[in-house]
Amino acid sequence: MVPNFHYKTIEEISGLLLAGKLSVVDLVQSQLDRINELDIHLKAYATVMPHQALKDAKKADIEISNGNYRGFLHGIPIAVKDLCYTAGVRTMGGSAVFSNNIPTYDSTVVRLFREAGAIIIGKLNLTEGAMSFYNPKFDIPQNPWKPSHWSGASSSGSGCATASGMAFGTIGTDTGGSIRHPSAVCGTVGLKPTWGRVSRFGVMDLAQSLDHVGPLTRSSIDAGIILQSISGSDPNDKTSLPHPVPNMLATADAGVNGLRIGYDEHYTNEDMEKTFAESIYHGVKTMEKLGATIVPIKMPKNLRTYMDAWQIICATEAASNHGDTFPSKANEYGPFFKHWLETGNKYSGKEYAEANIERQKCSGEINQFMKNIDVFACPSTAKAAYPVNDREQYGPVNTKRDPWNSRFTVPTNFCGLPTISLPSGLDGNGLPLSIQFIGHYLSEPTLIQVGNAFEKATDFHELHPPV
């Protein structure tokens, strides 16, 4: 294996597999060895699947050598967040109450991966129920850039595994920012698709009207490769979109000349660390040098007032989703998520309806705000990785949660617009910074195009943690 082999992209590895310069078995074994070496410290994986992965790898080698190559993902080791049902493999959702939950079928995402020839190498740790804190009986994924620093909450295992080279791509979910937060603080690409673009069938719900499923990768092209394979209408998910899936990479090399990029300087700078805000400004200027037109615009003035609605909607839907196990098995839940479900059960139907009205107002304003631009540039999260300890992340309940910290993510969960998060440098502590581009409904190919152009003009995506 060549140095840093584990940091190559899916695009690069697939070329080696197709050319016969690398076997799938060797590739999978190298990933298993790396997981065995690093994950004792990083704790990204809830379950590693070595026997199944090697069995599937041998099958993939035979298929590829016989000319039955299925595409970019054939033979590529992929890991999925432990919300995704995987037949015969425990799926726990970060909660002790589901420790013995072994599905008899695959989620649609896992099924589509298998059909594309991908090798499912394991299931990834996450916060309990995909909310903000962890169950005390589960490991906390570490930020591979610096121990005891925030790794992005819900899809933290996905961010950690992708950034540290323990998977060539992963699946995360995003209800209020949980593809973008771990992507931002772990230094990966994160693509949150349009709501409904990817089926949620067999993916354990946090709040189904807000949940998105999407990839975390080390390049925009790789994000497009994965999204291409997992997108599409699904009869098992009535909320999946009926729209045909386009070629996600069709315009990937088209550049950004003439593209209109919106930028709100006040929105980027307000309550932000200087280095993070500066990285967004420099990212926007980079795009301008590539030929994009920068359009000064203003985010809705009422944005702060809309943020409270997210908690009411999310907690209420979460309580509904956990009705079979809560409160009947309340003692198996961790302190934070138990409190979250209790809170959700206390909201009235009137409060839930009013919160959804606020959500619709916010969505309307965001869509109006986007009408004269192609994409909008802003931070992916409110701050770079910050010091945390296990006690803080297991509980006690954080009663001082500030909705304003989700201002860069929640609005697009409300309206379901797609976004891409890209590494945009390192701060003074050597921790990742991230820029987010928000697109229009079903504009994922444009976001991949923007991301690829940004990566060609910078080398931030080639930075790797010192693991």
Query: Cα separations (Å) of 21 from 18, 168, 198?
Result: 8, 18, 33
Neighbours of 33 (CB within 10 A): 12
Encoded tokens for 389: 């300890």
196 found inside a domain: yes
Q: Is 301 a catalytic residue?
A: no
Provide the pLDDT for residue 284: 98
**Each residue's pLDDT tens digit, 252-301:** 999 999 999 999 999 999 989 899 999 999 999 999 999 999 999 999 98
Provide the pLDDT for residue 2: 56
pLDDT level of residue 400 (50, 70, 90 thresholds): low
Overall pTM > 0.85: yes
Between 6-15, 320-329, 389-398, 418-427, the lowest mean confidence (pLDDT) is in 389-398
Identify the three-state secondary structure at position 68: coil
Neighbours of 92 (CB within 10 A): 24
Provide the pLDDT for residue 124: 98
**Each residue's pLDDT tens digit, 314-358:** 999 999 999 999 999 999 999 999 999 999 999 999 999 999 999
Instruction: Give the integer Cα–Cα distance in Å for 211 and 204.
Output: 10
361 found inside a domain: no
* Catalytic residue (choose from 151, 178, 363, 424): 178
Provide the pLDDT for residue 308: 93
315 found inside a domain: no
Q: H/E element holding 267?
A: helix 265-269
pLDDT level of residue 3 (50, 70, 90 thresholds): low
86 found inside a domain: yes
**Each residue's pLDDT tens digit, 131-153:** 999 999 999 999 999 999 999 99
Average pLDDT, the chain: 96
**Each residue's pLDDT tens digit, 351-391:** 999 999 999 999 999 999 999 999 999 999 998 999 998 88
* Catalytic residue (choose from 43, 81, 123, 338): 81
Query: Considering its fold, how many domains does the chain have in total?
Result: 1
* Catalytic residue (choose from 154, 155, 158, 279): 154
Q: Is 329 a catalytic residue?
A: no
422 found inside a domain: yes
Instruction: Give the integer Cα–Cα distance in Å for 363 and 194.
Output: 13
Provide the pLDDT for residue 301: 86
326 found inside a domain: no
- CATH code, 128: 3.90.1300.10
317 found inside a domain: no
356 found inside a domain: no
Identify the three-state secondary structure at position 14: helix
Q: Where in the sequence is the domain holding 54, given as residue range(s)?
A: 8-295+375-394+401-462
**Each residue's pLDDT tens digit, 75-99:** 999 999 999 999 999 999 999 999 9
pLDDT level of residue 411 (50, 70, 90 thresholds): very high
Query: Cα separations (Å) of 202 from 199, 234, 326, 434?
Result: 9, 11, 20, 30
Q: Is 158 a catalytic residue?
A: no
Encoded tokens for 151: 């790794």
List all residues 6 or more positions away from 57 whose beta carbon is below 8 Å from its beta carbon.
Answer: 23, 24, 25, 27, 28, 29, 75, 119
